[in-house]
Structure 1
Amino acid sequence: MITIILFCFEALFAVQSNANINVTIIHTTDIHGWINSHVHDSRYDAGVWDLYNFVDYYKRTAGPNDLVLLLDTGDLTQGTGLSDATPIQGQFIFDVMKLLPFDGLAIGNHELGNEDCINNIADNFAPFWNGRYLGWNVEHTNPNKKLTGDYFTIKLPNNQGNILVMGFLYNMHGAASNVKITPINQLLTENRFRKAFSEPNVKMIINLCHIATNASEIKQLHNFISQHKPDTPQLYLTGHSHLIRTKDLDTLSTLDAATTSSHAFAMESGAFARQLGFIRFTLSPNGIQMNEEDGHMSNAVFIGENGIEMLDGGDLSSVSSDSLSSSLLSKLSFQHYFVNYNHKTMLSWTKTNDSTFNTPAGNSIHRMVSRKYYDLNLGRVIGYSKYHYYKNQRVEEGQHSLSRLVLDEMLPAWRWNINNAFFIVGTSSLRADIYEGTVVVDDVYAVDPFNNMMFAINNVSGEHINQLKKMRFDGRTFFDKYAASSTLIDPNGRYTIISSEYDAKNLLSALNTFAPGSYAMRSTSFSLRPIIHQFILKNWNNNSFSSFSELAEE
């Protein structure tokens, strides 16, 4: 399935030549270790080798007036065993990414929680990209280690100017001790940031942002850059929130009145190697012209004059309503696609077949990934699931909830030696479904790539737990932020809350607003991933299933 969204992008790109420049931008973000395809979901059956072949096709077939860019906006790690079963988090993922023809990348927050991961990036990954791995507001605390670059330029064909590429991370809290993150609003006051604006003959600015499209940091960057480069178009490739969405930053009501530019656009391209963002436009003396020769209007979701039209089974489930501004539809001057990580889709999109699409380098990457998957024993079967357990907090009728499975079955079955345990898990802590059928080691890594230590808050009053459920956290209700045991709470009872370290800190802070200084947290010495693993080993090896095929037929 290919999702197509058409936008008005009214900025004119002045080009000092009569030659048109055809620009193709391929955007990846929040890959989170998903380089070996989604074996349980055939919609996303492409692996990182297919991505290589897809990009290679466009770069290899580009003409003298064509510019093809592959750009990533962070969070390469924490999501699968290939990312997180290695001695250092992301060690193998970084090695694989160095084999892909990226023109620029930005660092993500999931690379910044582990000191060893940070040092590995500074020592082995960032130097490879020679200043094109970006994060202007991210620094190593050791001045002798260069963790990220600030900006770089890309020359347009035919000496028609430059593209300025800058990279940023949101105002992250809780990073490892060997990294320093400068808030965006502070960065904008520093002279070192403004030096990029002195680059000559800049025709376009691309910002690689591991920042959610709607975040205040995007607004701050857009306003500041627009004030200093009012006639230069801006493209924001965003990430972090795992949504598919786009936004015209100049026509929506969130725009500050002081901003004078009229040509800034943002695109966020999902997560977990499910979609590629794909932009095509032509730079010409008359502005941006849409490339229409591809003919992919069928088999798509099209946002047109009458709103959303579903064509050939398109799926809008992960398309944000931010994309639906009617003011963006007055012209077909700019074209944006979401292309599924699907092998057949990539063949169709490039008008190739296996023999013309596959490359020796892509095949080598495939073998490399398969070998590491085998070496890490990620394909070892540990059990069989009768049901598909959905990670979504609110499941449809007849569906099975992963959070209910974890909170009401897996965690209570563990050897806590605690009375009246009450379990709370952040809704973002369980990252993937458990699918019906064979369960392998890698599936457990996908559910819990973090392996967070579980912490206990002792002797919590039932009344305070009930009050906790009525609180808001970062503007969200308790039940949007967390999933909790189904246990009915006695207001007069006493309970031990057990949660991951990350979530327990927030819960502890909230509880101490009810009774200041009354509560503390302690480590249980257990982490979540082995608990899930051991539960499946013990309880899901049903001898009545003699084979996977028999299980699948039930």
Structure 2
Amino acid sequence: MARWLWLGAAVCAGSCAAQNVWDPAQFGRGRLPRVDDVLQNLTWGQLQVLHTTDIHGWYQGHSKLSPPEPNYSGDWGDWVAFTEHMKRRAHAQGVDLLLVDTGDLHDGNGLSDAMPPGHADDRYSVPGHVSNEVFALADYDLLTIGNHELYDFRIARDVYENFAPKWGDRYVTSNVNITLPDADGTPRSRPIGARYTRFQTPQQGLQIQAYGVLFDFQLGAPGVRVQSPREMVAEPWFQASLRAHDKVDAFVVAGHMPVTGHDGWDAVHAAIRAVWPTTPILMLAGHTHVRDCRMFDDASMVLESGRYLETVGWMSVSNVSGRPSLARTYIDANPRNYAHHAGLAHAGHLSTRRGRFARATMEAIATAWNLTELYGIVPQDYYLDREAYGKPHALLTLLAQHILPDVVRPANPRHKHTPTLVLLNSGSQRFDVFQGPFTKNDQYIVSPFRDAFLVVKDVPWHIARQLCGALNRRGATHNEQPGGTHPAQGAADTVFQQYLGQQWATYEQASAPPAASGRPEAARRVEALLADMAADPALAKEHAHLQRDAAPSLGYVTVDACPGRGDDTQHMPLPYSPEQPDYIASEPVPPPADDARVDVVLVDFIARPVVQLLNAADPDRNYTIDDAEVWGRVTTQWLYPTYAQHAWASDLAQVWAGMDAAASRAGYPPLPHWDAYAAHPYAPVYEARAPLVFQL
């Protein structure tokens, strides 16, 4: 516990600094899922895997009241407790259970991306260093690295020097190297983790051989090298590892690679099958943030388990030494579902001592780093892609009509006498803004980047007003990262948005998206299922949650390439609108004359394409990057805090009381701070709904 001692002094400093804070002890830590959700049980076998991936710092879970956030309200303490219960359950059944994670542990949440006061130049300032200590409270059997551990050399080195050694040969990076000097100063490339590992399961003594693979990521920091999986499997060490042992009961491959759209899994599977033609191969995927699965043959499956601690993947294999049978389930990550699958009476029985310690640790960090500092109370939900741009609940509408003109434009006194056009790339926004408290932690979730705003002065208005449209016509992938929609170049968000869009489009029984959408096979799967349901009453009953007259809670509706229904909870998909521009603008009011000179204010991330477009449209001037000067002391990360402090100021207790009561009436009961349930967890729902019986 010595590694936590530094928190003691920091907690005092943090709590004293933040006057207006969000206190989970007073307001609870989120909600349980809706009371009437229908769950399906897990399929157990001889060997099973619980899988996490792309956590991106969401260790404190999803605490907002707006659906579907309660589906994912389990925090790391709940997860740790769940794994303890499940390992005990496996032991009681005489079967084996492995915990596997496939990378991207940070970038996306304050707990992993902020830093403690007074630690600007030590290891605690490295993003992910402290949150990795929280992660390590779960007893994983196999881990591998993600691309988000490799963009910054400091982070890659911290993983090599501090994180990987915690796990020994359980942390496996078969194709990822880092170059560091030897004792004599000579630079040498070496694996960040083990090349591969072998171990024996505790219950049945199964011989497991495991690898850890990353897609052929080419955007890492200098000093980091990722070898293509196809090249890796041809390496002498890999081929020798396949032939080094007479017995392997199962291969387990942890890979930060998408199930669909990348050939890395095909290469790994083919290489293993060339030597071991019938041995089960359990492959755990990641990177594109979706729920996805496919079978390579009767004895091999690859499973991708979502993102942001929303999903826990489950894979099981029966008859390991004979004709294997594999199954998979996507678990909604919340205490209710955890308790159900652990065989507990209800969520009130989930808590364990180690889980409570994990929660206490996270809260100490959040307090020390002022992550609970409250900036304001959001009056309504603002969605990243559920409503079309221009609609009142669209997040980009809020930005264009209110935040950019109210926060960015006034950041420089020039706006008082010079018309100002403000441009922003929508990719700078990473998550919905939900009704309720907006804290410093939300600042890291919604707008994590620290892009500065620049200004190009004295641009003719008839040219400046064309910029936003021109940027959108070229598109973000052309302007910012050519080829960026390919999974191997890190554009996970694009694939995830297509995944959500196809769920909603097929639910609405719209036509199939065009082949250029990137994942048309997912849409075809759902449409084929809907057609089969129309002809088969038994199948229609099994998938009743997809019927238009049913109204289950919002959540993921997954149709993948593996047999059976994958989601453990029946949901209807989230509404989705593709009408989201890559760029938005706040134009000057009133509009200037065509020949008037205006200031073009833009985030530094898009400076290069803006300069290119200006030169293409204005033959009378040669624009350069040097023309762009800093526009005030404002960055994208401070857009919402600044706006919230003057536009979202409310009486927290009064607003929260109304939200709390409404959530309980809707079927979402509160999660007590320390799981201190006075009665059945859903008792508040029944109490809140009781008066409605007497209303007309």
Mark yes or no: TM-score above 0.5: yes
* Matching residue within 334, 338, 342 for 1:342: 334
What secondary structure does 1:61 align onto?
A: helix
Alignment partner, residue 403 of structure 2: 410
CA distance in 2, matches of 1:410, 1:79: 21
CA distance in 1, matches of 2:616, 2:194: 42
The structure that is strand-richer by fraction is 1
Alignment partner, residue 191 of structure 1: 236
Alignment partner, residue 491 of structure 2: none
Of 59-68 and 380-389, more deviation after overlay is shown by 59-68
What is the identity, as a one-letter code, of the residue corresponding to 1:116?
R
CA distance in 1, matches of 2:226, 2:172: 13
- Structure 1 residue 42 and structure 2 residue 87: aligned? no
CA distance in 2, matches of 1:38, 1:520: 40
CA distance in 1, matches of 2:240, 2:616: 45
Alignment partner, residue 544 of structure 2: none
What is the identity, as a one-letter code, of the residue corresponding to 2:248?
V
Alignment partner, residue 24 of structure 2: none
Contact 1:277 1:337 in 2 (8 A): yes
What secondary structure does 1:245 align onto?
A: strand
CA distance in 2, matches of 1:142, 1:199: 30
- Structure 1 residue 214 and structure 2 residue 260: aligned? yes
Give the Å deviation of 1:171.
2.4
Contact 1:21 1:65 in 2 (8 A): no
- Structure 1 residue 174 and structure 2 residue 198: aligned? no
Alignment partner, residue 372 of structure 1: 365
- Structure 1 residue 106 and structure 2 residue 144: aligned? yes
What is the identity, as a one-letter code, of the residue corresponding to 2:159?
I
Aligned length: 484
* Matching residue within 183, 204, 208 for 2:250: 204
Change (3 A) 1:168 1:462: farther
Change (3 A) 1:396 1:403: closer
Alignment partner, residue 61 of structure 1: 89
Give the Å deviation of 1:218.
2.9
Of the two, which has the highest radius of gyration?
2
RMSD: 3.8
Structure 1 gap segments, 5+ residues each: 8-19, 251-261, 289-332
1:229-268 aligned at under 5 Å gives the runs 229-249=276-296, 263-268=299-304
Contact 2:316 2:327 in 1 (8 A): yes
CA distance in 2, matches of 1:507, 1:392: 25
What secondary structure does 1:35 align onto?
A: coil
1:304-319 aligned at under 5 Å gives the runs none
Alignment partner, residue 313 of structure 2: 277
Contact 1:385 1:438 in 2 (8 A): yes
Change (3 A) 1:494 1:546: same
CA distance in 2, matches of 1:382, 1:2: 37
Alignment partner, residue 533 of structure 1: 641
Alignment partner, residue 424 of structure 2: 424
1:66-77 aligned at under 5 Å gives the runs 66-77=95-106
Change (3 A) 1:466 1:359: closer
Give the Å deviation of 1:82.
1.0
For residues 468-487 of structure 1, what are the alpha-carbon distances to aligned partners after superposition, in whole Å with 9 as ceiling and x for unaligned? 42235346799778242265
What is the identity, as a one-letter code, of the residue corresponding to 1:350?
A
Give the Å deviation of 1:68.
0.7
Give the Å deviation of 1:422.
4.0
CA distance in 1, matches of 2:433, 2:222: 34
For residues 433-462 of structure 1, what are the alpha-carbon distances to aligned partners after superposition, in whole Å with 9 as ceiling and x for unaligned? 211122222111211234344566786765
Contact 1:212 1:239 in 2 (8 A): yes
What secondary structure does 2:642 align onto?
A: helix
Structure 2 gap segments, 5+ residues each: 1-36, 116-124, 183-189, 478-482, 486-515, 518-577, 663-696
Give the Å deviation of 1:233.
3.1
Alignment partner, residue 78 of structure 1: 107
Alignment partner, residue 520 of structure 1: 625
What is the identity, as a one-letter code, of the residue corresponding to 1:388?
D
Change (3 A) 1:191 1:528: same
Alignment partner, residue 152 of structure 1: 197
For residues 143-189 of structure 1, what are the alpha-carbon distances to aligned partners after superposition, in whole Å with 9 as ceiling and x for unaligned? 55753322212324677652221112222233223422233344344
What secondary structure does 1:110 align onto?
A: helix
CA distance in 2, matches of 1:112, 1:23: 32
Contact 1:38 1:45 in 2 (8 A): yes
Of 267-276 and 148-157, more deviation after overlay is shown by 148-157
What secondary structure does 2:319 align onto?
A: strand
CA distance in 1, matches of 2:638, 2:197: 43
Contact 2:73 2:335 in 1 (8 A): yes
What secondary structure does 2:294 align onto?
A: strand
Alignment partner, residue 438 of structure 1: 437
Contact 1:2 1:338 in 2 (8 A): no
CA distance in 2, matches of 1:505, 1:479: 25
The structure that is helix-richer by fraction is 2
Alignment partner, residue 447 of structure 1: 446
- Structure 1 residue 351 and structure 2 residue 343: aligned? yes
What is the identity, as a one-letter code, of the residue corresponding to 2:654?
S
- Structure 1 residue 137 and structure 2 residue 175: aligned? yes
CA distance in 1, matches of 2:72, 2:45: 32
Contact 1:140 1:146 in 2 (8 A): yes
CA distance in 1, matches of 2:343, 2:147: 37
- Structure 1 residue 482 and structure 2 residue 582: aligned? yes
Give the Å deviation of 1:526.
4.3
Alignment partner, residue 309 of structure 1: none
Of 67-76 and 110-119, more deviation after overlay is shown by 110-119
CA distance in 1, matches of 2:617, 2:171: 45
For residues 182-225 of structure 1, what are the alpha-carbon distances to aligned partners after superposition, in whole Å with 9 as ceiling and x for unaligned? 33344344333333313411232222111221132333433444
Alignment partner, residue 469 of structure 1: 472
Contact 1:26 1:277 in 2 (8 A): yes
Contact 2:251 2:280 in 1 (8 A): yes
Give the Å deviation of 1:285.
4.3
